[in-house]
Structure 1
Amino acid sequence: MPTLSSHGDVHIPDNLIHALGLKPGVELIFERQGDAIVMRPVKTNTPSRVEDGPKILGYSGPTVSLEEMEDAIAKGAEHSL
């Protein structure tokens, strides 16, 4: 179980570091919520790229080409008429 050092340091358990995707040097915010301390990484405004869209949205299916997407949209439009 992590403990508070005399310098105010706390070791964050590895499973939480990995689950949150924390990397060395990431800035953290600490907030008091009642009798609890909530820690969260500072969100940076990193420009997003189109090719990162599936990862951002949590999509884990197969890659689909633009042509396949256009065909699926056209078929869907035909069925809706």
Structure 2
Amino acid sequence: MLATATTAINISIHIAIGTSPLIFRYERLPNLEIGRKLGINNKEFGKEQLMQERNKNFKQYKKHIEGGKITAPNRFQIH
């Protein structure tokens, strides 16, 4: 069960980097059992392409976060 949960997290798309942590780390799609059974070739990615995509997505993500600070200011008072 833990291995399945770990795989699910590793192949989920992370909004700030625009890809999954597994793809970003290993520069390829994960080897899944269904892919092996169907004889599907694994797709690989270049590190430069992944870095450019991550940087672009991170800038957009940061812009949205900073925009949220402006539109939703902190009005809580701590006593």
TM-score category of the 2 structures, normalised to the smaller one = under 0.3
Higher strand share: 1
Q: Which has the higher contact order (CA 8 A, sep 6+)?
A: 2
TM-score (norm 2): 0.28
**Which one has the largest radius of gyration?**
1
TM-score (norm 1): 0.27
Higher helix share: 2
